[in-house]
Structures are given as C-alpha cells and as structure tokens.
Amino acid sequence: MGCLLSTPGDSGGACRMRNPGSIGEVAVFVPGFRIPKGVDFAQSLGDSVPKSLAERIAALRARVVVMVAQETPLSAKPRRRTATRHGGSTLANLLRALEDYLPVLLGLVKDGGRLRDKVRFAWANQEDDAEETVMANAWYEVLSVLHLMSMLCLSQANSMLLPRTAGDSYHQPRVSGESKRTSVDVFLKAAGYLDCAIQHVLPQIPPQSSRRDLPVDLTEGVLRALSLQALGQGVDIQLGMAIDSPKATLAVKRRLACEMAKYWHQAQDYIAQLPLPEGWGKSISSLLDGNLSKQRPLRTISMD
C-alpha cells in the first residue's frame, strides 16, 4: 500500500504530479536571526576557570558577535551567495565561527557546571532589537547558538535555490542540479541542529522556571515546526529531482510524496497551536499553506 498525489477522478491509479518546472524555485522561510550581545566573561567567570580558557571563549564569542552584526543587515533580503576574500560565503564563514565556539561552550557547560549560571547571556531578535532576552543559563546560550546555526543553514539553502541566469541571455534563469542536491544536505543539517536543540538542550532547562522565560522562537513547538519545514523542503527538492529523472521509479516518487505531505501537515499542526506574533506566524503559515495547496489530495492505492 502507498499514497500518491492524485485526484478522486484519476483512473487506474495514475499519478498526476506537480509541474516539474516548479521544482527548485523554492521560497525558504527564514525567521529573523537572533543576535548575540556582548558578554564580559572575565568579570563573570572570575577565577572559576583558567584565564587562558576564559580569554579563548570570550574571543570566539566576540568573533561571532561581530560577524552576526555584519551579516544581519543583509540577511533580510534573499540574495545569491556573496564571495569573501577568504573564499566561500559570509554565511558559511559565520557558520564556521559558531562551529568553533560551540564545542568550547559545551565543554565548560558540562565540566562540572562551572559556567551554567555564572554568565548572563543576552540575545536580541533581528526584527525587533528591543526584544532582548537575558538569562544566566549557559544552556540558553547553547540553545541560541544551535537556533542561529539552523537559520544560517536555511539562508544558505535559500541562496542555493535562487534561479541563476546562464552565460547567454537566451536561457531562462534556472537552479542547477548540483545546487538542488547540495540544498537537500543543507536542509538536513538545519533539521539536525534543531533536533539536537529539542532532544538534548531543552531538557537541560527547567520547564517550571527558566524555560518559561525563553523567547517564543526558542520554544519547543517553534523549533519542531522549523525542523519539519526543513525536512519538508528537503524532500520537496528530492521529489522534484525524482520527477525529472527517468530512472526514478514510481515507488520512489510515491514515498517522497508521502514524506513531504507528512512533514508539511505536521509542521502546520505545530504552528496552529502556537501564539506566534502576527508577522512571524503569518509568514510561516503562508508558506505551509502554499506548499499544502500545491499538493493534490492524497489517497491510498493498492500496489497489486
């Protein structure tokens, strides 16, 4: 048994898929980045950790703060990848800076809890700088870092899926197969960061006290909805490539169609239960509604 994208009037179990030409031109919903504010580690930690270690984590975080401040004015607008003098992209460089910072942060958090409640970490929302959340809980910092890493991945995927114009002007802008394949890995990476936040970091924050102080974009429901969005869009790209490939079997297309529908419906269910701000909630709800409306009704058919 399986499910196909079909209409009640279809006969013989024929599979009527979406127009393959629409695959790849994907609008990736990326919430506003959460921006880290400066922290005085030396004063907060005192003699609880070696001076060299305090200086190292302070330098790593300061680097992130500077890079986020440089990136956020640009991130509000979809754009193609911006090359830097070091190669790669600004998003990739910021992601690497966070990847350098996170292990050191985790080491201090897990090492006897010396950092857990000594430093007051402050983060603000890109869309409303006055909306700043300060917590003396290092797991809040870990959660914020993982959230930012996942948002950077979604931004990278968005950049990869922007249609590009070929060298001559006779061809329509298109998304290359390589960009589509790479974006799938990036979507999975974003979902992985969010799943780590849900499974391993949120449980470290007491639900009856500190967790109630978390901003709405770090609550479990929002994190799960964003993770499902990333998974759904990754499968959406895979489905489009399967439709375009003469080697892809009907069973593969059926499986991908079912997975995509499952992820979008689950994400929509989570969003419906959340008291999201009007702009934020309306944006992601519109994305989910749009993806669901593109699908034809699903029905179970026999493989016999």
In the chain, helix, strand, coil percent, each to 5?
A: 60, 10, 35
- According to CATH, the topology of domain 26-161+178-295 is 1.25.40
Q: Which two tokens stand for residue 25?
A: 């031109």
Beta strands in 64-127 (DSSP E): 121-125
| pLDDT single digits (tens) 172-223 | 778 888 989 999 999 999 999 999 999 999 999 888 777 888 988 899 988 9
Q: How far is CA 218 from the centre of its chain?
A: 12
Q: Which residue has the tokens 């190669």?
A: 87
Domain map of the chain by residue range? 26-161+178-295
Predicted local distance difference test score (pLDDT) of residue 291: 59
Edge to edge, what strands does the sheet with 128-135 contain? 34-36, 121-125, 128-135
- Three-state DSSP state, 164: strand
pLDDT in tens, 143-165: 999 999 999 999 999 888 888 77
pLDDT per position as a tens digit, 267-288 = 888 877 776 655 555 555 566 5
75-to-150, 157, 163, 187, 298 alpha-carbon distances in Å = 14, 13, 18, 17, 36
Exposed/middle/buried for 209, CB within 10 Å: 0-12, 13-18, 19+?
Answer: exposed
Q: The tokens 């004063």 sit on which residue?
A: 43
Among 250, 265, 143, residue whose Cα is nearest residue 204: 143
**pTM (predicted TM-score):** 0.80
Which tokens in the block code for residue 288?
Answer: 């989910």
Residue 81, SS3 per DSSP: coil
Q: 75 with 33: CB under 8 angstroms?
A: yes
Tokens standing for 100? 């350098």
Number of helices (H) and strands (E) in the chain: give both, helices first.
Answer: 8, 5
Residue 75: band (very low, low, confident or very high) from pLDDT cuts 50, 70, 90: low
The residue length of the chain stands at: 304
Distance CA 102, CA 105 (A): 5
- CA 182, CA 247: separation in Å to the nearest integer? 20
Residue 54 confidence class, pLDDT cut points 50, 70, 90: confident
Neighbour count for residue 181 (Cβ, 10 Å): 13
